[in-house]
Structure 1
């Protein structure tokens, strides 16, 4: 339960601050309205820093199923613990998204743009193309996981990583690769909030774009496994 709770809390903070900065930028009548992509990418980087920092001591601060899956493949996380990790991450993502909605509830009401509302929960492509969107998410997550594996090597069995380098990695990915799909690079980060978008009583919210929802889940898993495979043989 310690792993589950640690990942839940860390991921909830990640989503609260990460989707919180998106809400601040895209929703109407906020003090950060229209402040732009740099604000969003920097906010997400700081969200990663705080989420990892909070959860690293107990669970290793994965806060991302792609990280957990890569570490499990490399034998750094026991397979029996994977459900606790991913369950905590998904639950935390849902909780964090609920908190964003509560914090910005008046601004959701003041916003008519359904795409902007969805953007505060989940990602979406700038140009919709299944193959290219999937590849983009795989590439971004490959960079994340490959870099993280170098940060934590050698590491404990929990795969603890340093929070600040992880934040810089996410900042770099957001600035360089994030423009195509919004750089989910984390299945829980996208799926949990998307579920909450569907469930919460948000006025004029539109659809939750379930047709796209598998791409930010499958793409990051592909990228994470490729990074782990290459890292394993590269290190040898």
Structure 2
């Protein structure tokens, strides 16, 4: 698969399952209605895990412009590929959000809360103070990228015992982690960020996760949807693009290669 297509598919999976759990909890007459914050954060963590499993071997599963830019800043990703990756991620976010809309098609008109409907697509601050919201997104994304780089180094350079006759099994701890455990660990990282840092803003920590679905919210014929809150939309775009590189640079400063 082309890496750009992989980023499109991975981000679409992320949004389908991530915003899908929000819709399940928020929309009226859903069987998961009022499931609570723990259900939402767990759903997002598992959404990330599935997306990384699906496309990690093809594109690295950035599925987030902040991750893409951060890796480019540290020299671990080519700047020439950054625009294509970001475009694919935003388009994937729109596609995933459209699938959420179709999945819950019968529930939009049963729900009166316009803010709740928007929450099934994009984020908004719990308290509408833009500077604190901006700082929250910077800190959350810095933690995300710092954590991803940390997970990527687990077991690096630590050889495991050779296993005769089992050539298909990775022969280093790093290989085992990369193949089987990294997607789950990244999902647990996102779960931790949601539980610990997600309260103020809904933890976008990903411009494509917010912008792509927000565009879909604007364009789709969602029953009683209200406004798409574009006055806030710049924060989940700009703040992660600052926080991600800060987290990457901090990691490289503390743990140089």
1:97-116 superposed matches below 5 A: 97-116=97-116
2:45: which partner in 1? 45
* Cα distance, 1:152 vs structure 2: 1.6
* Cα distance, 1:85 vs structure 2: 1.2
Q: How many residues align?
A: 234
TM-score (norm 2): 0.88
Q: Name structure 2 gaps, 5 residues minimum.
A: 157-173
Which of 210, 229, 232 does residue 212 from structure 1 map onto? Answer: 232
Query: Does residue 1:139 correspond to 2:159, yes or no?
Result: no
Partner SS, residue 88 of structure 2: helix
1:177: which partner in 2? 197
Q: Name structure 1 gaps, 5 residues minimum.
A: none
2:254: which partner in 1? 234
1:55: which partner in 2? 55
TM-score (norm 1): 0.96
Q: Is the 8 A contact 1:3 1:84 kept in 2?
A: no
* Cα distance, 1:35 vs structure 2: 0.8
Partner SS, residue 33 of structure 2: coil
Query: What is the CA RMSD across the aligned residues, in angstroms?
Result: 1.7
CA distance in 1 between counterparts of 2:127 and 2:68 reads 29
Deviations 1:172-202 (A, max 9, x none): 0000110100000000000000000000011
Q: Is the 8 A contact 2:206 2:240 kept in 1?
A: yes
Q: Is the 8 A contact 2:108 2:224 kept in 1?
A: no
* Cα distance, 1:73 vs structure 2: 0.7
CA distance in 2 between counterparts of 1:35 and 1:151 reads 30
CA distance in 2 between counterparts of 1:87 and 1:174 reads 25
Deviations 1:133-156 (A, max 9, x none): 00000011111000101112369x
Partner SS, residue 93 of structure 2: helix
Query: Does residue 1:6 correspond to 2:6, yes or no?
Result: yes
* Cα distance, 1:214 vs structure 2: 0.4
Deviations 1:58-83 (A, max 9, x none): 00011111111111111111111111
* Cα distance, 1:230 vs structure 2: 1.2
Quick check: which has more Rg, 1 or 2?
2
